[in-house]
Structure 1
Amino acid sequence: MRVTIEGGVADVRLNRPDKRNALDPAMFEALVLTGTELAADTSLRAVVLSGEGPDFCAGLDFGSFRAMASGERLSARAELPEPTGPARATGQRAVHVWTELPVPVIAAIRGNALGGGLQVALGADIRIVAPDAVLSVLEVQWGLVPDMTGTQVLPELVGRDVAKELAFTGRRVSGTEAARLGLATRVADDPLAEALQTARTIAGMNPHAVRGTKRLIEMAGRVDLAEGLAAEQREIGALIGSPNQVEAVTARFERRAPQFAD
């Protein structure tokens, strides 16, 4: 992984372009450890996740499929601290760490996002894709199921029937169709530039409001309505009159850029 941070925006890139950013044990480790490290950075405002070279991520490294013939899972070789959240397996953690990141994560997708590569993108809050990008829930074509949180996340995005159709067939869809289905958020000719611009916009907002919004929306549909509404009131109660909220109001009235504290 390659990470640069500027103005509170982390530009995070899968960095095996010669292998189309395929997932091997080292890449699984890097995804989990990078996400965990970024989660601890209170100065961070947003993350853009992309791949070096022409592809986002082409899925599992071919060595992993060869190892499966003898019943071995190479991802299990990743050396990671014990999991603490709901994602227990290495592949699940490599995706869910981005969902658990307290700040918004935007995936910029061009080229191929296949199988495990698509599931990594599903860990992001927003997916911006090139019109000619190729996305596929490819696992069935290797005789497998999507096991990196995909079976749980896909129905929420595209509906249960579309999720089944994509997972049963491994059909490849363009970026344009992905956006129509809900698999991607929107299309852009230059998804990385668009993602970075969106991240900079987010970075200009009250960081505590943004983090609170992510927490609340992640709860939606996963807790009962009373709990969700109560959480909403706790978040707004903590924000009203707080220094950053006062600064947001003051800056708007004074027609200047706000200066928020971490």
Structure 2
Amino acid sequence: MAQASSGASERPTEDELSRAGLELKVEGHVARITISRPERRNAMTGRTWKTLAHIGQTLPEDVRIVVLAGKGDIFSAGIDLGMFTPEGVDGERSLVAGILDGSADADDVEAYIAELQAGFLWLRRPEIVSIAAVRGHAIGAGFQLALACDLRILAGDAKFTMKEPALGLVPDLTGTKPLVDIVGVNRAVEICLTARRVEAAEARELGLAELVVPVEELDGAVDDVIAALLATNPEAAVATKALLQQAAGNTLEQQARAEREAQVGRLTSLAKAMGAGG
């Protein structure tokens, strides 16, 4: 999905962001998204994820870094459990009401979940690098949102928990693939089916965190990573991320070919730039 070149008027309004429990700040090449429902431990709803998708669709073209964080001392307690009640949350569609009253069949429910997943999928796009800055608990959907990001920078008090199986559900917000890719099937099974906490030090050992720092150093560590990422040629960054994303599914021969093709594109661009400069 290509990044949109939209004006500010097409982005989510402040009212839409507020109702979704989100804050958005775009400064130059960096967009910062904050989950902001501290009264509900930053629990998220369907509106949260649909608005995340809207943000992804309307980011300015020059945004290269997206940072996700939670307001206060917690990343997110996961899905607001009110979403599983017949009445839903604040007038939002309940995840079970349509099944209970017969107004929604399996295809309807699957289509709705696909809408929610869209709020997570865009964070993998090659033209951006997404960073989860995690303090405190990241539970269920919060854990999956962190897994949707390219990089996870954790404060020392961070804790991941995959809660869905303990609630009689499955993780369905695009988290199962990155979890298995990072820790392997056996460890992923253990983490999910015990619903235990994975604390920051273990998360780093397992590869679920690129960096763990003291709580008071989290913001500075994120800023340092942003500065290093922005120092890289933007076109080369996009091409390299795209290469890395396809590597796991390619044979060595296929990946070597992909590297050659990508490098031809880069060399051509650099040569044209030299010619224009001469």
Which TM bucket (shorter chain)?
Answer: 0.7 to 0.9
| Number of equivalent positions | 234
2:151 is aligned with 1:126:
yes
| Counterpart residue number, 1:98 | 123
Q: For residues 178-217 of structure 1, what are the alpha-carbon distances to aligned partners after superposition, in whole Å with 9 as ceiling and x for unaligned?
A: 1111222220123333122211221121100111111111
Residues 244 and 65 (structure 1 numbering): CA distance in 2 closer, same or farther, change over 3 Å?
A: farther
* Alpha-carbon distance in structure 1 between the residues aligned to 2:115 and 2:194: 25
- Report if the CA contact (8 A) 2:135-2:157 is conserved: yes
Residues 69 and 33 (structure 1 numbering): CA distance in 2 closer, same or farther, change over 3 Å?
A: closer
Moved more, 110-119 or 21-30: 21-30
Residues 4 and 155 (structure 1 numbering): CA distance in 2 closer, same or farther, change over 3 Å?
A: same
| Counterpart residue number, 2:165 | 140
- Report if the CA contact (8 A) 1:7-1:203 is conserved: no
Q: For residues 83-134 of structure 1, what are the alpha-carbon distances to aligned partners after superposition, in whole Å with 9 as ceiling and x for unaligned?
A: xxxx971332222121125211111000110001110111100001111111
Instruction: Specify the SS of the correspondent of 1:54.
Output: coil
Deviation at 1:69, TM superposition (A): 9.8
Deviation at 1:73, TM superposition (A): 7.7
Match of 1:57 among 54, 60, 76: 76
* Alpha-carbon distance in structure 2 between the residues aligned to 1:46 and 1:2: 16
Instruction: Specify the SS of the correspondent of 2:62.
Output: coil
Structure possessing the higher radius of gyration over alpha carbons: 2
RMSD of aligned C-alpha atoms? 2.7
Match of 1:8 among 17, 29, 51: 29
Q: How does 1:185-224 map to 2 (within 5 A)?
A: 185-189=210-214, 190-224=217-251
What are the ranges of 5 or more consecutive residues in structure 1 without an aligned counterpart?
A: 75-86, 251-262
What are the ranges of 5 or more consecutive residues in structure 2 without an aligned counterpart?
A: 1-21, 87-92, 100-111
* Alpha-carbon distance in structure 2 between the residues aligned to 1:33 and 1:129: 26
Give the fraction of aligned pairs with identical amino acids, expressed as a percent. Answer: 34
Q: How does 1:149-188 map to 2 (within 5 A)?
A: 149-188=174-213
- Report if the CA contact (8 A) 1:119-1:150 is conserved: yes
Instruction: Specify the SS of the correspondent of 2:133.
Output: strand
* Alpha-carbon distance in structure 2 between the residues aligned to 1:228 and 1:70: 41
- Report if the CA contact (8 A) 1:10-1:47 is conserved: yes
TM-score, normalisation: structure 2: 0.76
Instruction: Specify the SS of the correspondent of 1:48.
Output: strand
Q: For residues 213-246 of structure 1, what are the alpha-carbon distances to aligned partners after superposition, in whole Å with 9 as ceiling and x for unaligned?
A: 1111111112333332222112211112535996
Instruction: Specify the SS of the correspondent of 2:25.
Output: strand
Moved more, 160-169 or 43-52: 43-52
Letter in 2 for 1:204: A
* Alpha-carbon distance in structure 2 between the residues aligned to 1:244 and 1:202: 24
* Alpha-carbon distance in structure 2 between the residues aligned to 1:244 and 1:169: 55
**Bigger RCO (CA 8 Å, 6+ sep):** 1
Letter in 1 for 2:62: S
- Report if the CA contact (8 A) 1:110-1:133 is conserved: yes
